[in-house]
Amino acid sequence: MSNYQSYEPLTESAAVTLALRLGLFEEKSVLSCTEIGDGNLNLVFRITDQSNNGLIIKQALPYAKVIGESWPLTLDRARIESSAMLKQAETAGEYVPKIYYSDETLAITAMEDLSHLQIARAGLIEGKDFPLLGRHIGEFLGKTLFYSSDFALNPQTKKQLVKQFSNPELCKITEDFVFTDPFFDVESNSFEDELRPAAEAIWNDTKLKLEVAKLKHKFLTEAETLVHGDLHTGSIFADDETTKVIDPEFAYYGPTGFDYGHFTANLLMNAISREEAKQQVLLDHIETAWTVFAGEFSKAWEKDGLEVYTGIDGYLSFILEKTFEDAVGFAGVEIIRRTIGLAHVADLDLIEPHDRKIEAKIRALELGKKLVKHRSSIKTPAQIADYFKQVPVR
């Protein structure tokens, strides 16, 4: 691969040199730099001047840290990530960081520093509510998902984008660790001993696995629109007024419901970790995000639908219903894999004491199974909330 010829991981001082070369700071600035990455796949440098103006330089690593250097990963994901952010910015610029520069050979992207915001997952775990989170994510999804689809684009343009965002290696991570391994007794899974009976029940639940198979088939085959591909609360920066979606390195043409499903699943897992009185705000975010998504998508459909069938009565409702049903299924799969699969969420893992954590995880698994199995009869976010409230704690 010619891309690898002059690739090397940046050091902090190399990142500073690059920032100066790019002219993104005033000429005589004194810059300092810290590597702040806590992900598994990238280096993230924050560079600041003496007035604390910041810049982020993100660089893809040619391997996955979670498994060690032995698992190589394409650097092409840096291209996917910066291209996806630029594409999202065309219609939903207020919800993504500004991109200043990208270099495919070094697999780097220089972008807006969002350090004044907080990763939504961390804030939610502290008990914050982020009052505009649902509204902003709904608007982000309504715009980005409509305008990349065959409803808005000439299908020939869309097919070029499908090729541009073909993302086999990152999709493989989702295919394996989201849709497959958690549903089989394989080594990559990770969970507390007390969860073994619940995990075994999942591995033996043929009806559940049939439904997961159908959802995986959708993930593999339905090139509906350019999805973010990894829209959990760790991919969102927020405060009380602002929301920014980051890290679209898993972006590819997939099912329209995928992102809302993952967002919903991650809010539900946070809700499970909270005392009852503080849960409703998260269920409200789930409802608001859908309502705003559907509203934005519908507005764009009416205004900018290029596909002539967008004028046919009933077609928009059909697409929204399909999207919601898919999303509910994807949410269920995400909850299950985050509980017994390889990659967990802190929302559940940090619950104390241990017994409460185990109870919460068992509740999460029950909820996940119900969402997958009953998705065709779950038509509204309110019904998701009902299932959430009904799931028994053992």
Applying CB under 8 A, the residues found at the interface with a copy of itself are 150, 155-156, 158-160, 162-163, 166-169, 171-172, 175, 180, 184, 206, 209-210, 212-214, 216-217, 220-224, 308-309, 312-315, 318-319
Half-sphere exposure of 368 (CA within 13 A, CB side): 35
Q: For a copy of itself, which is the closer residue by CB, 42 or 225?
A: 225
Cβ-based nearer residue to a copy of itself, 132 or 162: 162
Q: How far is the CB of 371 from a copy of itself (least distance, A)?
A: 19
Known binder of ligand: residue 200? no
Q: With b meaning 16 or more CB within 10 Å and e meaning fewer, what string describes 316-347?
A: beebbebbbbbbbbbbbbbbbbbbbbbebbbb
Q: From the CB of 212, what's the least distance to a copy of itself, in Å?
A: 7
| 187 in a known ligand binding site | no
158 labelled binding-site residue: no
Q: Which two tokens stand for residue 207?
A: 């009806």
Amino acid at 75: L
Q: How far is the CB of 106 from a copy of itself (least distance, A)?
A: 24
Shortest separation between residue 257's beta carbon and a copy of itself, angstroms: 13
Q: Which is nearer to a copy of itself, 2 or 206 (CB)?
A: 206
Q: Which amino acid is at 110?
A: A
379 is in an annotated binding site: no
Q: How far is the CB of 63 from a copy of itself (least distance, A)?
A: 17
Residue 46 or 216: the one with the smaller Cβ distance to a copy of itself is 216
CB contact set of 57 (below 8 Å; sequence gap of 6+): 10, 15, 18, 19, 44, 45, 47, 108, 109, 110, 111
- The C-alpha atoms of residue 159 and residue 304 are separated, in whole angstroms, by 19
On whether 24 is known to bind a ligand per the annotation, the reply is: no
Note whether 247 and 114 are within 8 A (CB): no
CB contact at 8 A, 238 and 133:
yes
Q: Residues near 320 by Cβ (< 8 Å), separated by ≥ 6?
A: 294, 297, 298
* 214 annotated among ligand-binding-site residues: no
Comparison of 224 and 287: residue with beta carbon closer to a copy of itself: 224
**Nearest distance from C-beta of residue 359 to a copy of itself, angstroms:** 30
Q: Is 394 annotated as a binding residue?
A: no
Nearer to a copy of itself, 170 or 345 (CB): 170
Whether 246 contacts 235, CB under 8 Å:
yes
349 is in an annotated binding site: no
Cα–Cα separations (whole angstroms), residue 149 to 84, 224, 226: 14, 6, 7
Residue 175: both structure tokens together: 């295919």
| Residue ranges of the binding site for substrate | 230, 337
| Residue ranges of the binding site for ATP | 42, 58, 112-114, 247-249
| Residue ranges of the binding site | 42, 58, 112-114, 230, 247-249, 337
